[in-house]
Amino acid sequence: MKILVTVKRVPDPYAKVVPNTAGTDIAREGLQWAINPFDEIALEEAIRIKEAGKANEIVAVSIGGDECQEQLRTALAMGADRAVLIQITEWLDPTSIAHVLTRIYQREQPQLILMGKQAIDTDDNQVGQMLAALLDLPQATFASKIHIENGTATVERETDAGIETIRVPLPAIITADLRLNQPRYVALTGIVRARSKPLEVLPLAELGIAPQVRVRLLAVERPPARQAGKRVADVRELVRLLKEEARVI
């Protein structure tokens, strides 16, 4: 079985992200970048499935600029077998990303596509579901447990109502939630080995697709800041203020 894993380059989840001076995007200088944490979890899951003898190849794919090679190298060091970078020069909206990924699907013919549930930069939470629709594949989003057997994935999903279990035949798209696993640290041997693993760079034009971008980011701003309020001395004062000042109890 071949597994395709998507890898997006995003600012480090613990980095402080601020608007640029024009307020048109985030300030990029000095930012640390990382694999989208949900994609790292998706990749970890793919590696575990392979380690369990249920897959024989993991292909990591990223869509972005040349700098994404850094995240793909990390993916190779973690345990992906091959990586593909689809080079783009202009920002693409989620529908376009999904369209580009359909081409990769056709090229690679994986039995399983593992993706993050959401990219923590624009927090869309769309591409997996869109890709599943475009490819007419079943989807299991927000996975916290995956069990694969006889061409079927049994997936526990984190929903607002609790843990829901669904079963989908492969090929299918599964998107990872935080509790699916704890990604491994990249070992030095992995980094060394990753250097000799193939990383293919494909300009978007070579996929014969010209996506139509219909959503654009115009501006970013800080939300109105919340003022720190007052310190209260004890429980009695707290209850009095909640009653008399805030009037919420």
Ligand X SMILES: Nc1ncnc2c1ncn2[C@@H]1O[C@H](COP(=O)(O)O)[C@@H](O)[C@H]1O
Residue with nearest beta carbon to ligand X: 116
164 binds, among ligand FAD, another protein, ligand X, none (CB under 5 to 8 A by kind): another protein
95 counts as binding ligand X under rule CB under 6 A: no
Task: Name the H helices within 84-156.
Answer: 94-108, 127-135
DSSP lists the bridge partners of residue 129 as none
Single-letter code of the amino acid located at 150 = N
110 counts as binding ligand X under rule CB under 6 A: no
Shortest CB 156 distance to another protein, Å: 9
185 binds, among ligand FAD, ligand X, another protein, none (CB under 5 to 8 A by kind): none
37 counts as binding ligand FAD under rule CB under 6 A: yes
First to last CA, the chain: 58
62 touches 83 (CB < 8 A): yes
39 binds, among another protein, ligand X, ligand FAD, none (CB under 5 to 8 A by kind): ligand X
124 counts as binding ligand X under rule CB under 6 A: yes
Q: How far apart, in whole angstroms, are the C-alpha atoms of residue 103 and residue 197?
A: 22
Q: Supply the DSSP string of 29-91, one letter for each residue.
A: TT--EEE-HHHHHHHHHHHHHHHTTS-SEEEEEEEE-GGGHHHHHHHHHHT-SEEEEEE-SS-
36 binds, among another protein, ligand FAD, ligand X, none (CB under 5 to 8 A by kind): ligand X
118 counts as binding ligand X under rule CB under 6 A: yes
Structure tokens at 125: 């939470």
From 120, 191, 201, 202, residue interacting with ligand FAD (rule: CB under 6 A): 120
116 counts as binding ligand X under rule CB under 6 A: yes
Q: How far apart, in whole angstroms, are the C-alpha atoms of residue 71 and residue 10?
A: 9
Q: How far apart, in whole angstroms, are the C-alpha atoms of residue 70 and residue 168?
A: 33
143 counts as binding ligand X under rule CB under 6 A: no
64 binds, among ligand FAD, ligand X, another protein, none (CB under 5 to 8 A by kind): ligand X
Shortest CB 36 distance to another protein, Å: 12
Positions that interact with ligand X (CB under 6 A): 6-8, 36, 38-39, 62-64, 94, 97, 115-116, 118-119, 122, 124-128
